[in-house]
Amino acid sequence: MKHALNYNWSFIPNFNDEYLQNIPAGVETVDLPHNMVDFPFNYYDEKDFDSEGTYFREIVFRKIEESDKFVLRFGGVNNSFTLYINAKIVGTFTRPYMEENIDITQYIQEGTNLIVVRVNGSEKVNAPPFGNTVDYFPFSGIYREVTLFVYSALDIIDVKVSANHDGEVEVKPEIRNINKLDYDILYEVYEGTTLIASSTDAKFIVTKPKLWSINSPQLYNLVTKVTANKIVKEHVSVFGFRSAVFQSDGFYLNNEFTPLVGLNRHETYPFVGAAATSFLQFHDVVKLKELGVNYVRCSHYPPSRAFLDACDFLGLMVINEVPGWQYIGDEAWRKLHLQNIETMINRDFNRPSIIAWSIRINESADHPFYAECQKLAKALDPIRATTGTRNFAHSELFEDIYSYNDFSHDGHTKGLLPKRKVTKSNKPYIVSENNGHMYPTKPFDNPLILENHTKRHLAVLDSFFGDKNIVGISPWCMHDYYTHHEFGSGDKICYHGVLDIYREPKPAAYVYKANFTTEPVLYPLFRGDNGDLPESKLYKTMVVSNASYIDLYKDEDLVKRYYPRRDLYKHLPHPPFILDTFISENFKSAIKFSKRDRKKVTKLLNFAALNNFSRLSLWQKLRFGWLIVKYRLKWDNLVELWFLNVVGWGDKSSGYTLVGYDDNDVEIARTRIENTTASTYDIKLLKDELRNADTFDTTIVSVKSVSPYRNHYDFSPVSIVVTGPLKVYGPQTQSLHAGVLNVYVRSLNEKGRGTITIGVGGTLKTFNVEIK
């Protein structure tokens, strides 16, 4: 029997031996998941997390059978904790990021039981990933859910299911049977509520099952029934039919060649830290699917069960990874690493989304120890491939896949190294990271930096699609993330993502949307603000789109038709467009130029707009001088030409329009390029019904400053007021981050109705929320 233990814990930010006897005065009531330390958006003090806190929870057992077994599961506690029950120490557990299933049978009693959890947030622990500073921040506390399992004398502890694309099923149940009863076992497969197969054998075949895939992630329920005398026990396992095979020439999902394009992901959020609910986990998978990637690398620790639930449900493949970052410790440390491999594989064995286990410490040196890791992983799961990431070439290889962090691209070189320069192995080869720290990019950087960031992602993806020896690629990374002071930009944030820390897109994100989704994309990288550029010059700017061609209009006049630059990006499904002409022959001027001279002036203006008049060639200067003489142009005429057609390019009265078309000449998208004017605020509530179940629920209020694009220099204050059984993560006044803010709001442990009111820049909006 399963009991969620996530509501009504007591917490105090210290520890005292007296706490083992009774809950002290001065505690606050908290629910799990929970952060021990509140923190600001950035510039937090890392020393605040190097502290202790104590959690308390009373549970009551009216009757305990002698044969009962009690297991307390902690989904995740950072960074170590000591568990006490009824003033007796159960043990100290030091496995950050990992689930612990603790047998507490001998410590509980009938009546009231006091659970005390002493949590230490220090990173000075002899356990992965620690030993040296790591490039991500763990925060601290009981940051995932807690569950109590009560098993009777005859019970089902766990069931592992393997099911391939041919419908072959193999089941491995773990049965508790302390009285050694004779029992019958039955396996039933359900599609929804419909029984489609049953068997008394652990190996059986389901005829023509619907396969799990990224576009149609069909899931099934396996109901395992154990019967002895009049005792019946049932266990439900979610699984899917699919095969996932890595070969040197590619990855095959259900025998179909599938280029792997993914991103790396961390699991922290502003004001929430790592203590995210299932809704936030689900929302991250939605964001990844919106980008069009087909897999995610879980860097550098196993994610929440809820995240993987969403991957199974929505169709996102996963490379799961044990905790680690460059450092390999002593024998005790390495023993914990082996335990982490075992825990990860056992916890997530049934998931169709998981295609490989990453069992090597990220970016660590070669070590004979990895042979033992490979042996353990294959014993636990002989079907799935194993891998492990290196940051140096020609490493030893015990795993099934050679994974390498290729940071060779510097903005000018080819996107990726060829496989032969990294490894001589004939095994499959994956580029597990690239970009990232090579070009940190803030969402509020100027357009040239944002465009260079975008070009780097274009370059590595183009290289990937042009090299049949690379099976998969997962650039660094999905979103900006929290880190230590040794990394990032000084404010404890690494700005390495294609999304910002609120999971909102930077321009580079549109590279993925344009190339890997069917949603029409037409995104110019310059928005029309000349003053944001050196010398207020225009430049050859890029448009990311999946259109077949695009037309650029100035007012109602067609300036030029553009086609994808396949000469620069030969292998991408949808190369970008490059705009190099902004002024048409219908340029604005009070001077009545002849048609022939208009063509000459147009060329001169376009060149000067991109390069400045000072860079005109001698021949261009002579031609322009001749026009000045011919039309008796004065200084005011030249200023007018420049101001109306170059410096004022993109003003609202005469902006540019981009129109994208498909192969059938049908318009698929249209967008404007114009100077930023007054901001408008787009405020949306993602869901208005919160459901308290095993733990509390969360919603997001999205606040965006647009005109018509994201106003990435808008840091306006935002006021947040909630009523009813709701609570805001963070302060009641927060700031836009480069024009966006996601306000995270959680439910309290009661039913009712509440409101969320957002105020920003003179705009006020109230949402009604129901808590069930």
Residues 181, 318, single domain; the answer is: no
Residues sharing a CB contact under 8 Å with residue 423, sequence separation 6 or more, in sequence order: 393, 394, 395, 397, 402, 404, 429
Q: How far apart are CA 506 and CA 517, in angstroms?
A: 17
- Average pLDDT in the chain: 93
Mean pLDDT calculated for residue range 361-388:
96
Q: What is the CATH number of the domain that holds 432?
A: 3.20.20.80
Lowest mean pLDDT among 25-34, 94-103, 628-637: 628-637
Residues 30, 82, single domain; the answer is: yes
108 in any annotated domain: yes
In which band, very low, low, confident or very high, does the pLDDT at 182 lie, cut at 50, 70 and 90? Answer: very high
**Res. 599: pLDDT tops 90:** no
244 in any annotated domain: no
Domain's final residue, options 645, 673, 701: 673
Q: How far apart are CA 662 and CA 669, in angstroms?
A: 9
Cβ atoms 340, 134 nearer than 8 A: no
Among 247, 634, 698, CA closest to 428 = 247
Q: How far apart are CA 579 and CA 569, in angstroms?
A: 15
Active site residue 18: no
pLDDT per residue over 335-354, tens digit each?
A: 999 999 999 999 999 999 99
The residue among 276 and 540 whose pLDDT is bigger is 276
Q: What is the CATH number of the domain that holds 750?
A: 2.60.40.10
Cβ atoms 713, 564 nearer than 8 A: no
DSSP letter string, 487-548: STTSSSEE---SB-TTSPBPTTHHHHHHHH-SS--EEES--S-GGGSGGG----EEEEE--S
Residues 303, 410, single domain; the answer is: yes
Residues 344, 477, single domain; the answer is: yes
Cβ atoms 107, 88 nearer than 8 A: yes
156 in any annotated domain: no
Q: Which residue has the tokens 């025998």?
A: 255
Residues 460, 580, single domain; the answer is: no
125 in any annotated domain: yes
Q: What is the CATH number of the domain that holds 85?
A: 2.60.120.260
245 in any annotated domain: no
Lowest mean pLDDT among 16-20, 98-102, 551-555, 681-685: 551-555
Mean pLDDT calculated for residue range 556-577:
95
Residues 287, 228, single domain; the answer is: no
CA atoms within 13 A on the CB side of 194: 4
745 in any annotated domain: yes
Domain's final residue, options 458, 485, 519: 519
pLDDT per residue over 281-308, tens digit each?
A: 999 999 999 999 999 999 999 999 999 9
Active site residue 363: yes
In which band, very low, low, confident or very high, does the pLDDT at 650 lie, cut at 50, 70 and 90? Answer: very low
Residues 12, 112, single domain; the answer is: yes
Predicted confidence at residue 676, as pLDDT, reads 67
**Res. 32: pLDDT tops 50:** yes
Quick one: angle between helices 509-516 and 278-291, nearest 10?
70
Predicted confidence at residue 139, as pLDDT, reads 95
Measure CA 43 to chain center. Answer: 22
Residues 206, 280, single domain; the answer is: no
**What is the distance between the terminal CA atoms of the chain, rounded to a whole angstrom?**
24
In which band, very low, low, confident or very high, does the pLDDT at 440 lie, cut at 50, 70 and 90? Answer: very high
In which band, very low, low, confident or very high, does the pLDDT at 418 lie, cut at 50, 70 and 90? Answer: very high
In which band, very low, low, confident or very high, does the pLDDT at 641 lie, cut at 50, 70 and 90? Answer: confident
Domain that holds residue 72: 2-150
Residues 534, 512, single domain; the answer is: no
Predicted confidence at residue 647, as pLDDT, reads 65
Lowest mean pLDDT among 241-255, 600-614, 653-667: 600-614
Query: Is the bond into 708 cis (omega within 30 degrees of 0)?
Result: yes
**Res. 544: pLDDT tops 80:** yes
Predicted confidence at residue 624, as pLDDT, reads 78
**How are beta strands 80-85 and 111-120 bridged, if at all?**
antiparallel
Catalytic residue selected from 267, 363, 399, 504:
363
Residues 395, 274, single domain; the answer is: yes
Predicted confidence at residue 555, as pLDDT, reads 78
In which band, very low, low, confident or very high, does the pLDDT at 654 lie, cut at 50, 70 and 90? Answer: low
In which band, very low, low, confident or very high, does the pLDDT at 665 lie, cut at 50, 70 and 90? Answer: very high
Domain's final residue, options 239, 273, 292: 239
Mean pLDDT calculated for residue range 607-633:
80
Q: Write the CA distances from 66 to 180, 295, 593, integer angstroms.
A: 16, 47, 101
pLDDT per residue over 679-726, tens digit each?
A: 789 999 999 999 999 999 999 999 999 887 788 899 999 999 999 999
Residues 485, 411, single domain; the answer is: yes
Angle at 517 between CA 516 and CA 523, to 5 degrees: 95
246 in any annotated domain: no
**Res. 412: pLDDT tops 70:** yes
340 in any annotated domain: yes
Residues 123, 180, single domain; the answer is: no
Backbone angles phi, psi at 605, to 5 degrees: -65, -40
pLDDT per residue over 5-20, tens digit each?
A: 999 999 999 999 999 9
The residue among 347 and 674 whose pLDDT is bigger is 347
pLDDT per residue over 203-215, tens digit each?
A: 999 999 999 999 9
Count of domains for the chain: 5
Cβ atoms 385, 377 nearer than 8 A: no
Catalytic residue selected from 52, 123, 145, 433:
433
Mean pLDDT calculated for residue range 39-45:
95
Mean pLDDT calculated for residue range 218-227:
98
